[in-house]
Amino acid sequence: MGMRPPTGLPSLSRRSRVLLVLALVAAVLLLIGPRLIETYTSWLWFGEVGFRGVFTTVLVTRILLFLAVALLVGGAVFGALLLAYRSRPVFVPAAGPNDPIARYRTTVMSRLRLFGVVVPIVIGVLAGLVAQSSWVAVQMFLHGGDFGQHDPQFNLDVGFYAFDLPFYRLVLNWLFVAVLIAFFANLVTHYVFGGLRLSGHEGALTKAARIQLAVLAGTFVLLKAVAYWLDRYSLLSSSRKEPTFTGAGFTDTNAVLPAKLILLAIAVICALAFFAVIFMRDMRIPALATALLVLSSILVGAVYPLLIEQFSVKPNAAQKESPYIERNIQATRQAYGISDDKVTYQPYSGDATQAPRDVPADVTTIANARLLDPNVLSPTFTQQQQRQNFYGFPPTLDIDRYELAGEKRDYIVAARELSPNNLQGNQTDWINKHTVYTHGDGLVAAPANRVTAPVLDPTQDTSNNAGYPIYTVSDIASQQDGTQVIKVDQPRIYFGEVIAEGDADYAIVGNGDPNQPREYDTTNSKYTYTGAGGVPIGNWFNRLAFAAKYAERNILFSGVIDSNSKIIFNRDPKSRVENVAPWLTTDGDAYPAAVDGRIVWIVDGYTTLDNYPYAQRSSLDGLVEDSIDQTTGRPLPRKEVSYIRNSVKATVDAYDGTVTLYQVDEQDPVLKAWMGVFPGTVQPPSAVSDELRSHFRYPEDLFKVQREMLAKYHVDDPNEFFTNNAFWSVPNEPTVEGSTLNEPPYYVLVGDEETGEPVFRLTSPMVGFRREFLSAYITADSDPKNYGKLTVLQLPVNKQTQGPAQAQNSMISDSRVASEKALLERANKIQFGNQLTLPIADGGILYVEPMFTERSGSNAASFPQLTRVLVSFQEPGPTGRVRVGYAATLAEALNQVFEGGTGGAATAPGGTVTEQQSAGTSPAPATPQPEAAQPAPPQPGGTDRDAVVSELDSALSQVRSAQQSGDFGAYGAALDRLQKAVTDYQNLPE
């Protein structure tokens, strides 16, 4: 007796169904609840910063794209299921008592709504969730315009590749997905309901099944034909020729491109063969067509281009690829902003033709030579300017310039921020952490070219305030006592880089009782936040939302929160900019500046593309990484680009968190498209105040990308490009032995070649390809007058000018340096600061490098101090001798290298210029300091300043000479003379 097949799934009891429903509801809440809370709190946050239009535009675009793709894919699956079900055979022959299909057929028939409706909905929802992340392609298609540049192969505007092609690809991909899933859904349904039977020798296929499957297969192949057509345009961003160049080469143009057209034609024929099955029963025709398409894709699409590449191109690569390399050169220059109209190339001899003291620009350059390294001095700033344990500074400080008393100077700058990670003991209690310790205090700046006093004997205890920065502080105390030099009306910092550290980046501020302030302000005062920043949490619904967001019940039950309370979150400046402008890639370094009485963070924003035709495509994180990023762990943007522009400068107010986006490139088509997507979010260039513009810097990440490109793409000749002979390289970090990381670029204040006035530039030396000799020197102007001007000084190929690594080797192998370094290392940690490469003397190259020491051991009060200054200069001539200076001051080190008192142009410790130069611009006088930041006031003395300084230099030289001679008697006398000179110097009147 045969077994009767089961009639369906076993039924559940009422209790089981209730438990199942509750479990499903709980799962949905766990899955969707956090997203709903995040969406609501984000909506509140975007309202706080005034960019809710960005939030709604992105949200609506995502929802519409989700619905469109969900309906497309879900509808295709539903239609395929419905057609297969309705055209099922009326009678299905049984395949025996153990037919497995009968069981599934019975199950499906008993759950038609589940399988016929729920399955397509689930598949559609999943597809929509994946597709909604592609909202950028949709908006770029809708708002993109023309570039005014045409590709050399198809003569189409670059806007087609940037804005249109990605959207066409998106649509095509989802049509592929919809048709493919519908095909399998239709196939399985026909199999379950008997339209497709595999029993027997040949099986069986009903007419309806044959037609439906053939139409779906034909549509899929037809879409493949469209894909072949679009593949032609994608060839222009091909990476087949990497690492030589990006873009369609000889093989792509002469083999792959025709192959795509051949395959397109075959795909159309194959699709017609499938459609012919509607009228013909013979399935061999589409089967043969499919085999032809597969075979053709192998032979025509892969084998033929490979044969052309191996036997035609490679034996004659330089000749064959020459026109395509030329295309790559021109496109890459345009895409990365290094075209001939934006870069000035100048020959540079590498040989000094004048004395530096006779060149006005050199006098300014030497006077402003930067001795303080922002990558070294964070511990020093922390120890000397932290004030309270809960304040802190970022691991890497910043460089900016200020014009005070009519003189421009560059400063090491940092905001004294609240550091949540520094809170200790009861300070970490929730009440204290989030409602008491809420903000930082002020801007700290130090002139970059001078320190308090020279370190005369670094082997002794260095607690005498020598070799440290001279601070200018703009904080609450300086505001109250009127000692501010850099004017700041509101020094409190609620938004910053350090303050955003920790697991819970939020503070709760505001108080209904003005007589009961809660926030720590100074040792003797408390404060209540009055700024516009923050989201109100006075109502219970918002409190509940944020309690859920941060999983913190205290937000819900704490009595310190009242109707006037607000929560401040998303406090990192870069994150705030990235949230309000999700289409921007931000620079890795945001820096604080005092602008119009406010402390603001300035963030550089980039617009990028990854498919600019023929432009070199590179990984952004690989292009911008250098030794500083490795040391500080600075996050790098991980993205592939083939086009980049610094089109937006953003500011974030440190007090109220206001985000403002400014357009600084009016020619960028990508920015214009985004301004069409989010109208009114980017302010025009005219909205930038003069004071804000004076603090704009040429961004480091963009400069790193451009110098990497200039290393290759300064070459005009395609044949020379192919051989790599004329390429440059970014030098390795010279101050770290054995480093394989790039030397970072440096901001310097140097003299203008024409006027001698100080100009702020970002600079980088370049060495020959896999060589150490200097080949070029790249600068980017940051001052408003010539902002963005790139200049490349090119050294002769037959001139062996020492590069950074060679200069470093010359300096540290000097007998004076080696002997004192060995002595110091016994009790000190030695760290070399930024090695500056400075073109001077109308053709020469001067290297200046500070050396910092820090007492080793467990002494917590030890921190880096400037101990010595090294300089290196190569004499004129084909094999010019390298001179090395090594002294406690830049002036003395320069005098060891140059004749004629060149060191007199250097700014002396404490800020005094050692000698006024009649031939050019003299350095600015010292900036007055706040009383709390000043060293002990000097006692009046009757000695002439110039004579005292001259005696100090002479005494330092005598000590050095005596030390080298080994005459201990002379050495002792020299030290006595030096001590007297130092005393006279310290007693000079202000």
Structure tokens at 334: 């345009």
Rounded to 5°, angle at Cα 92 from 87 and 93: 155
Residue 460: Cβ-neighbour burial (10 angstroms; 0-12, 13-18, 19+)? exposed
List Cβ neighbours of 633 (8 Å cut-off, separation of 6 or more). Answer: 395
pLDDT at residue number 452: 92
3-state secondary structure of 827: coil
| pLDDT digit string, tens, across residues 187-242 | 988 888 877 776 654 457 788 888 999 999 999 999 999 999 999 999 999 887 66
Blockwise average pLDDT, block size 10, the chain, 990 residues: 47 74 77 88 95 96 97 95 85 58 70 82 95 96 95 96 96 97 92 74 74 93 96 90 83 94 94 88 82 91 91 90 94 95 94 89 95 95 93 95 90 96 92 94 95 85 78 93 91 94 84 84 92 93 93 90 93 96 94 96 96 91 75 69 96 97 96 96 96 96 96 94 92 91 95 94 95 95 95 92 95 92 89 95 93 77 90 86 94 91 88 38 35 35 58 70 57 64 65
3-state secondary structure of 792: strand
3-state secondary structure of 758: strand
Q: Do residues 743 and 722 lie in contact, with contact meaning Cβ atoms separated by under 8 Å?
A: no
State the Cα–Cα distance between residues 561 and 556, nearest whole angstrom. Answer: 9
End-to-end CA distance of the chain: 117
Task: Give the CA count within 13 Å in the CB-facing half-sphere of 428.
Answer: 7
pLDDT at residue number 931: 33
pLDDT at residue number 371: 96
CB atoms within 10 A of CB 968: 10
pLDDT at residue number 919: 30
Q: Do residues 542 and 536 lie in contact, with contact meaning Cβ atoms separated by under 8 Å?
A: yes
Structure tokens at 140: 């770029």
pLDDT at residue number 281: 75
> Where would I find the beta strands (DSSP E) of 769-864?
774-781, 790-794, 828-832, 836-840, 844-855
pLDDT at residue number 936: 35
857: left (phi over 0), alpha (psi -120 to 50) or beta: left
State the Cα–Cα distance between residues 279 and 14, nearest whole angstrom. Answer: 53
pLDDT at residue number 98: 60
Report DSSP state, residue 833: -
List Cβ neighbours of 904 (8 Å cut-off, separation of 6 or more). Answer: 357, 891, 913, 914, 915, 917
Q: Do residues 331 and 613 lie in contact, with contact meaning Cβ atoms separated by under 8 Å?
A: yes
Residue with structure tokens 């050199």? 362
State the Cα–Cα distance between residues 531 and 533, nearest whole angstrom. Answer: 6
The 8 Å CB, 24+ separation contacts for 289-295 are 290/221, 292/266, 293/221, 293/224, 293/263, 293/266, 293/267
Angle between helices 14-49 and 52-86 (to 10 degrees): 150
Structure tokens at 111: 């759950």
3-state secondary structure of 434: helix
640 DSSP β-pair partners: 619
State the Cα–Cα distance between residues 250 and 241, nearest whole angstrom. Answer: 10
Residue 97: Cβ-neighbour burial (10 angstroms; 0-12, 13-18, 19+)? exposed
Structure tokens at 128: 């929509």
Q: Do residues 602 and 698 lie in contact, with contact meaning Cβ atoms separated by under 8 Å?
A: no
CA atoms 580, 582, 587, 588: torsion sign: positive
pLDDT at residue number 7: 47
pLDDT at residue number 100: 65
